[in-house]
Amino acid sequence: MIIPTIQPDEWLEGYRGRLSRLSDISVRVGVEPALRNFMAHRRDDTESPLSFIGMISMALGMPTSDIVLRHTLWPAQIAVDRTSDHEVIARRAADIDGKFMFSRPMRLQTWLCPRCAEDDLNHLPFSYWRRSHQLPGQLFCRDHGHELQFVPRSNHLVHLPHEHLGVATPSSTELLERMRRSVHVTRAMQISNAILEGQFIPSRGHCSAVLSRRAKALSMTADAAGRFPEVKDLVDQHIPRAWLKDAMPKVTARLESMAFVDHVFDTSLAGLSGVAIAVVAAMLYDDANGALKAMGADVPSKKRSAGPRAINLPQLAVSTPIAALP
Ligand SMILES: [Zn+2]
């Protein structure tokens, strides 16, 4: 079995496909049993049955929380979960029951940047799926500014991004134009990206309280349930529906209108993503850093508002543990 080095910003779901392909693991056998067998041969004692995340972190010699925070979309979902403790995250992700929660995709399609795919092939023997491209609502590559393209979500992850070049679908020109023009969408994406990059882990209760206070400070009035209809109107006015559909596919399919806004203020309601918090924050603050700071992020200076700052986590110490078993 071959355990490839995980690349910077590589999406765990894509990595899993790359690993299956390198190790010639068929869909029928499945990657978990193969990995479990491999770990047993390596005599990595495991106390309990581990999820893919648990086993791969062991095989790569990386803390489980690093895998979750750097290679899954979990940080963008974390406001829903109300868990911000790294040890709790690691324990739950490693547990076999927690695997779906931590590795599920958030969008209906899988996204790639053609420039990234081409660049990869210039210095790697392969291209790989990036997590940042899978962030709901992300339509441009953060590195190249290039428009992202998508492929249907199916069993495609055993294929690498460059193998989809020429057949992947671009976003509609209209959507891209509207997104480019909207300062509110841009701000929401800056906040979302900062959350994803681990600048801080927001808690839903805290964000609800902060955003409610902010709305009141802007002379908005809450209804009996503590929700802010004016913020709903603002979202309706400034956020293109087509973009919202991509940013929150599950929410907008299930809920009528702008109901998700109520959910940001009312913690007793279920069905919220980190993106929802970002969209509401983008309505209440004039700049992304101001919003992030209010919500508890450690933001260095105003000059950095163009984008999220680099991840402030310890440097990855991943050697290339390529191992083969007979
Ligand atoms: Zn790119």
**What is the Cα–Cα distance from 219 to 227, expressed in whole angstroms?**
14
Q: Are 316 and 5 in contact (CB under 8 A)?
A: no
- Nearest alpha carbon to residue 86 among 74, 104, 101: 74
Q: Within a domain: residue 6?
A: no
Same domain, 97 and 113: no
**What is the Cα–Cα distance from 192 to 298, expressed in whole angstroms?**
15
118 C-alpha to ligand 1 centroid (Å) = 9
Count of domains forming the chain: 3
Q: Within a domain: residue 91?
A: yes
Task: State pLDDT tens for residues 218-252.
Answer: 999 999 989 999 999 999 999 988 888 888 876 65
Same domain, 52 and 162: no
Same domain, 134 and 232: no
69 C-alpha to ligand 1 centroid (Å) = 21
pLDDT at position 84:
61
Same domain, 192 and 256: yes
Same domain, 162 and 75: no
Model-wide pTM > 0.85:
no
Sign for the CA dihedral angle at 95, 96, 97, 98 comes to: positive
Same domain, 141 and 240: no
What protein residues have CB closer than 5 angstroms to ion ligand 1? Answer: 113, 115-116, 141, 143-144
Task: State pLDDT tens for residues 162-187.
Answer: 999 999 999 888 888 888 889 999 99
Domain boundary among 81, 103, 125: 103
Q: Within a domain: residue 276?
A: yes
Q: Within a domain: residue 4?
A: no
Q: Within a domain: residue 139?
A: yes
76 C-alpha to ligand 1 centroid (Å) = 20
Domain boundary among 61, 84, 103: 103
Same domain, 219 and 249: yes
131 C-alpha to ligand 1 centroid (Å) = 12
Q: Within a domain: residue 77?
A: yes
Same domain, 216 and 256: yes
Q: Within a domain: residue 58?
A: yes
Same domain, 151 and 222: no
- Nearest alpha carbon to residue 128 among 170, 71, 74, 53: 71
Same domain, 138 and 226: no
Q: Within a domain: residue 320?
A: no
For residue 260, the number of C-alpha atoms closer than 13 Å in the C-beta half-sphere is: 26
Same domain, 97 and 30: yes
- Nearest alpha carbon to residue 55 among 25, 84, 26, 93: 93
pLDDT at position 320:
28
pLDDT at position 314:
28
23 C-alpha to ligand 1 centroid (Å) = 27
Same domain, 197 and 296: yes
101 C-alpha to ligand 1 centroid (Å) = 27
pLDDT at position 304:
42
149 C-alpha to ligand 1 centroid (Å) = 11
pLDDT at position 65:
85
**What is the Cα–Cα distance from 322 to 224, expressed in whole angstroms?**
60
Domain boundary among 58, 77, 103: 103
pLDDT at position 238:
92
Expressed as residue numbers, the domain containing 250 is 180-306
Residue ranges, the chain, pLDDT below 70: 27-28, 43-49, 78-84, 96-103, 154-156, 199-200, 250-257, 270-271, 300-326
